[in-house]
A and B are shown apart, each in its own frame.
Chain A
Amino acid sequence: DTEVTQTPKHLVMGMTNKKSLKCEQHMGHRAMYWYKQKAKKPPELMFVYSYEKLSINESVPSRFSPECPNSSLLNLHLHALQPEDSALYLCASSHGTYNEKLFFGSGTQLSVL
């Protein structure tokens, strides 16, 4: 299994809603990432978990809250988002050492109304 699975594929939410994005991998990878991608732009790093500990937070607003319950799962909890947060949210994983290739999921297309 060389897949990173993200759910849901599409999400529409209001600015007062609370929702969660989920990401799962069964490749034994120990680093997991959240990226945000706007249309026609490169992915922007949001968070990195390394061995289930938060390793990087790229000064992301607190309305985004990551969680890594175990080595296979990564969640992104969303609360009180703004319309400008509408984007494709990509999860990725890598073996756990630096400079290794990233395996990306297909993403969650999020629309905030």
Chain B
Amino acid sequence: GNSVTQMEGPVTLSEEAFLTINCTYTATGYPSLFWYVQYPGEGLQLLLKATKADDKGSNKGFEATYRKETTSFHLEKGSVQVSDSAVYFCALGGPGTYKYIFGTGTRLKVLA
């Protein structure tokens, strides 16, 4: 069946450091891939998405590229801020289903 594997956290970085959070997946067919972010006490918000191989999703300085050859969708940001401190979830959607598979989440803490 479909699955998502996400790197364990927590990840602690200094402000302006480079961020990578690894995400790999297994899936049949052609799923869509997502990164969601959850701030304390809130629901999840979509950060970015990609719907096919080689697509690059980007938003707020975050980027991730849908790599079919390595079945990966790693999240990157060139310079993190304290306000980026949150939990990040990689997720896989479909095809042909409303079931989204979420990774276990990676907690990011950015220190000033």
Taking Cβ atoms with an 8 Å cutoff, the residues of A that contact B are: 4, 6, 31, 33, 40-43, 45, 48, 50, 55-56, 90, 92, 94, 98-107
Question: Do B46 and A105 touch across chains, with their CB atoms under 8 A apart?
Answer: no
Question: Do B100 and A45 touch across chains, with their CB atoms under 8 A apart?
Answer: yes
Q: From residue B101, how far is it (CB to closest CB) to chain A in Å?
A: 9
Partner of A101, one of B34, B41, B96, B99: B34
A98 and B43 in contact, given A40-B105, A42-B89, A42-B104 (Cβ under 8 angstroms): no
**Which residue of A is nearest B46, CB measured?**
A101
Question: Do A104 and B45 touch across chains, with their CB atoms under 8 A apart?
Answer: yes
Beyond known contacts A42-B104, A98-B97: 18 more, CB 8 A cutoff: A4-B43, A41-B105, A42-B102, A43-B89, A48-B99, A50-B98, A56-B98, A56-B99, A92-B44, A94-B98, A98-B94, A99-B95, A100-B93, A101-B34, A101-B46, A101-B49, A104-B44, A106-B41
In the complex, chain A residues whose CB is within 8 Å of the CB of B51: 99
Q: List 25 A-B contacts (CB under 8 A).
A: A6-B43, A31-B98, A33-B98, A40-B105, A41-B105, A42-B102, A43-B44, A43-B102, A45-B99, A45-B100, A48-B98, A48-B99, A94-B98, A98-B93, A99-B31, A101-B46, A101-B49, A102-B36, A103-B46, A104-B43, A104-B45, A106-B41, A106-B42, A106-B43, A107-B43
> What sequence of 0s and 1s flags, for each residue 80-112 of chain B, a beta carbon within 8 Å of any chain A beta carbon?
000000000100011111111011110100000
Q: From residue A30, how far is it (CB to closest CB) to chain B in Å?
A: 11
B22 interface residue per 8 A CB criterion = no
Partner of B93, one of A99, A105, A107: A99
Question: Do B46 and A98 touch across chains, with their CB atoms under 8 A apart?
Answer: no
In the complex, chain B residues whose CB is within 8 Å of the CB of A103: 46
